[in-house]
C-alpha cells in the first residue's frame, strides 16, 4: 500500500510540474510573442483637426475591423513613448557611394542634424544597413517611376503581396519601374532575428533599403527622407517618384498612363496627391497626432498631401531633402513634407479629380478601382484578391456594372 501511495504522489507531482510549465509557456506567448494587431507603429489615419471654419473630422475609414494584418509571427517591439527618434532628430546630406548591403558605418551614410542644449546644429550619421545603390545604373533605361514604400521588418506578407501586384516592376512594358521598401531597425533580440530574415529577403529580391534608426511611427519622417535622399543620390534620372505605405492598394497602370502619361515630357516641380488644405495642428495632448505649440506655433498647416500616397517629379526629391536640412523636425511626415514644399514655394498640384488619391478605404468594385490610384487599409490577402479581380475585369468593369444596374431596375 505504501508503495502505491508513493507512486501516486510521484505521478501527482509530475502532473503539477507539467501544468506549471504549461502555464509559464502560455504566459510568455501572450506577454511576449503575440504582436499587437492594433496600434501598430505604421498605422495611419488623420486626427480631428480645426479648419479655418471650425472643427473638422478628416474623412477616413478602415472598413471592417475584421480586415487586420496577417503578420509573420515575429513580435513587434513595444517602444517606450520617449523612444521616438532613436536619439536622432534630423537627417543631413549624403553624396558618398557605398557597396550594396553595406554593414560598415563608414562606407555610405546620411548624416543627421541634432540640436544640442545651446541650440546649435550638430551632425550625426545614419549608416545604411542595407542599400541598393546600383538600382538605377547607366546600362538600363532611365526609370520612369520609383516606388518608395514605407514598411516594417515583420510585414513580410505585405511586401510579397506588393511584389506580386501593384509593385511588380514589369507592369508597364517599355518603361523602367523601380520598387524600394524603406525600413529602419528593430532593437533587441527580436531585432537580431528579424534582421537575419530581412538580409535573406534582401538578397533574394534586391528591393530593400534600411538605415540605422529606430523603426517607429514617430520616425516616419526620417524614413521618408531616407528614400528621398536615396533618389537624389542614386537615381537622379528618375522621371517620377511615388511614396506610399505597405497597406495601400495602388492602381499602377492608371497612375502611369492616365496621370503621368509617359508620352509627354516629364514634369518638374510637380507634387500631387490627396491635397489636405486648411488643416490646423491638433492640440489635444492625448492624440496620436498631437502637435505642441512649441513644435509648430502657427495656427494652420500649409497645404500638404496625405502620406498614404503622393507622387512627385524626380527633381523634387533632392529639393525637398535639401530643404529638410534647415527645417526643424516634425514627426508627422506628410505635414513635414508640406512645410518643406511651402519653404520651396511649391504648391501641391490638385489631382485631375478628388477621387484619385484616397487616404481612406474605398469599398471595392472593379469599376471604381479601375478609375482610382490609391485606397487605404488593406491586408496582404486583400491586396492579392482585389488586384487579380481587377486585372480580370478592368476592360469591361463599368459596362458590367451598368448592365447589372439596368437589369435590377428592369
Q: What percentage of the chain carries pLDDT values higher than 70?
A: 67
Look at residue 151 in the predicted model and tell me its pLDDT: 98
Average pLDDT, the chain: 78
Look at residue 402 in the predicted model and tell me its pLDDT: 59
164: DSSP letter: H
In this structure, the chain runs to a length of 410
The predicted model gives 327-339 an average pLDDT of 96
Going by pLDDT thresholds of 50, 70 and 90, the confidence category of residue 140 is confident
CA dist., res. 38 & res. 288, Å (int) = 13
Look at residue 126 in the predicted model and tell me its pLDDT: 86
Pick from 243, 273, 249, 245: nearest CA to 364: 249
Task: Determine the angle formed by the axes of helices 156-164 and 188-205, rounding to 10 degrees.
Answer: 20
Look at residue 61 in the predicted model and tell me its pLDDT: 36
Q: What secondary structure does DSSP assign to 235-272, as a single string? A: -TT-SEEEEEETTEEE-HHHIIIIII-TTSPPPSS-EE
- Where is 332: in which H helix or E strand? none
CA dist., res. 94 & res. 92, Å (int) = 7
Q: Which residues contact 110 (CB under 8 A, 6 or more apart)?
A: 91, 92, 93, 94, 125, 126, 211, 225, 226, 229
Look at residue 298 in the predicted model and tell me its pLDDT: 95
- Chain centroid, CA 137 distance in Å: 25
166-207 pLDDT, tens digit each: 999 999 999 999 999 999 999 999 999 999 999 999 999 999
The predicted model gives 333-346 an average pLDDT of 98
Task: Please provide residue 297's backbone torsions phi and psi, each rounded to the nearest 5 degrees.
Answer: -80, -20
Helix/strand/coil percentages in the chain, nearest 5: 35, 20, 45
Going by pLDDT thresholds of 50, 70 and 90, the confidence category of residue 18 is confident
Lowest mean pLDDT among 21-25, 132-136, 169-173, 363-367: 21-25
Task: Determine the angle formed by the axes of helices 156-164 and 380-393, rounding to 10 degrees.
Answer: 10
Q: Which residues make beta-bridge pairs with 185?
A: 214
At residue 138, does pLDDT exceed 50?
yes
Pairing mode, strands 145-150 and 240-245: parallel
Going by pLDDT thresholds of 50, 70 and 90, the confidence category of residue 358 is very high
Helices (H), 74-205: 156-164, 188-205
What class is the 83-353 domain? alpha beta
348: DSSP letter: P
Name the more confident of 329 and 8: 329
Lowest mean pLDDT among 24-38, 97-111, 386-400: 97-111
Pick from 159, 177, 355, 359: nearest CA to 246: 159
Look at residue 118 in the predicted model and tell me its pLDDT: 33
Going by pLDDT thresholds of 50, 70 and 90, the confidence category of residue 58 is very low
CA dist., res. 166 & res. 239, Å (int) = 18
The answer to whether residues 293 and 322 touch, using CB atoms and an 8 Å cutoff, is no
Which of 82-86, 87-91, 249-253, 398-402 is predicted most confidently?
249-253
- Chain centroid, CA 69 distance in Å: 14
Distances (CA, A) of 3 to 6, 13, 82, 137, 322: 5, 15, 62, 81, 84
CA dist., res. 96 & res. 231, Å (int) = 13
Q: Is 261 left (phi over 0), alpha (psi -120 to 50) or beta?
A: left
Going by pLDDT thresholds of 50, 70 and 90, the confidence category of residue 10 is low
Task: Please provide residue 51's backbone torsions phi and psi, each rounded to the nearest 5 degrees.
Answer: -85, 180
Cα–Cα–Cα angle for 100, 380, 306, rounded to 5 degrees: 75
Look at residue 405 in the predicted model and tell me its pLDDT: 58
At residue 273, does pLDDT exceed 90?
yes
CA dist., res. 294 & res. 179, Å (int) = 37
The answer to whether residues 90 and 113 touch, using CB atoms and an 8 Å cutoff, is yes
At residue 43, does pLDDT exceed 50?
no
Domain boundary assignment for the chain: 83-353
Look at residue 66 in the predicted model and tell me its pLDDT: 34
What pTM value is reported for the model?
A: 0.73
- Chain centroid, CA 64 distance in Å: 21
Copy the grid coordinates of residue 19.
501544468
Amino acid at each position: 500500500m505504501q508503495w502505491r501511495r508513493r507512486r501516486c504522489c510521484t505521478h501527482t507531482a509530475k502532473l503539477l510540474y507539467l501544468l506549471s510549465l504549461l502555464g509559464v509557456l502560455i504566459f510568455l506567448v501572450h506577454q511576449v510573442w503575440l504582436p499587437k494587431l492594433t496600434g501598430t507603429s505604421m498605422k495611419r489615419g488623420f486626427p480631428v483637426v480645426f479648419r479655418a471654419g471650425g472643427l473638422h473630422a478628416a474623412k477616413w475609414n478602415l472598413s471592417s475591423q475584421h480586415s487586420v494584418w496577417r503578420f509573420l509571427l515575429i513580435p513587434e517591439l513595444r517602444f517606450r513613448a520617449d523612444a521616438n527618434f532613436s536619439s536622432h532628430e534630423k537627417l543631413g546630406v549624403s553624396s558618398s557611394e557605398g557597396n550594396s548591403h553595406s554593414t560598415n558605418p563608414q562606407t555610405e551614410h546620411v548624416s543627421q542634424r541634432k540640436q544640442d542644449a545651446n541650440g546649435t546644429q550638430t551632425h550625426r550619421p545614419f549608416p545604411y544597413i542595407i542599400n541598393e545603390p546600383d538600382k538605377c545604373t547607366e546600362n538600363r533605361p532611365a526609370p520612369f517611376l520609383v516606388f518608395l514604400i514605407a514598411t516594417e521588418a515583420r510585414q513580410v506578407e505585405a511586401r510579397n503581396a506588393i511584389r506580386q501586384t501593384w509593385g511588380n516592376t514589369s507592369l508597364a512594358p517599355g518603361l523602367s519601374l523601380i520598387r524600394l521598401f524603406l525600413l529602419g531597425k528593430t532593437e533587441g533580440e527580436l531585432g537580431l532575428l528579424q534582421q537575419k530574415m530581412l538580409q535573406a529577403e534582401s538578397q533574394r529580391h534586391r528591393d530593400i533599403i534600411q538605415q540605422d534608426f529606430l523603426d517607429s511611427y514617430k520616425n516616419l519622417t526620417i524614413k521618408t527622407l531616407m528614400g528621398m535622399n536615396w533618389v537624389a543620390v542614386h537615381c537622379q534620372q528618375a522621371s517620377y517618384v511615388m511614396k506610399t505605405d505597405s497597406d495601400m492598394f495602388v492602381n499602377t497602370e492608371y497612375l502611369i498612363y492616365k496621370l503621368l502619361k509617359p508620352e509627354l515630357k516629364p514634369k518638374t516641380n510637380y507634387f500631387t496627391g490627396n491635397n489636405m488644405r486648411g488643416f490646423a495642428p491638433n492640440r489635444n495632448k492625448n492624440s496620436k497626432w498631437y502637435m505642441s505649440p512649441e513644435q509648430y506655433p502657427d495656427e494652420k498647416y500649409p497645404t500638404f498631401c496625405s502620406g498614404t500616397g503622393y507622387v512627385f517629379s524626380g527633381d523634387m526629391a533632392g529639393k525637398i531633402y535639401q530643404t529638410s536640412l534647415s527645417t526643424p523636425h516634425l514627426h508627422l511626415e506628410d505635414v513635414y513634407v508640406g512645410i518643406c514644399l511651402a519653404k520651396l514655394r511649391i504648391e501641391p498640384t490638385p489631382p485631375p479629380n478628388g477621387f484619385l488619391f484616397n487616404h481612406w478605404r474605398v469599398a471595392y468594385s472593379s469599376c471604381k478601382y479601375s478609375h482610382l490610384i490609391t485606397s487605404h487599409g488593406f491586408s496582404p490577402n486583400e491586396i492579392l484578391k482585389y488586384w487579380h479581380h481587377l486585372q480580370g475585369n478592368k476592360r469591361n468593369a463599368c459596362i458590367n456594372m451598368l448592365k447589372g444596374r439596368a437589369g435590377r431596375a428592369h
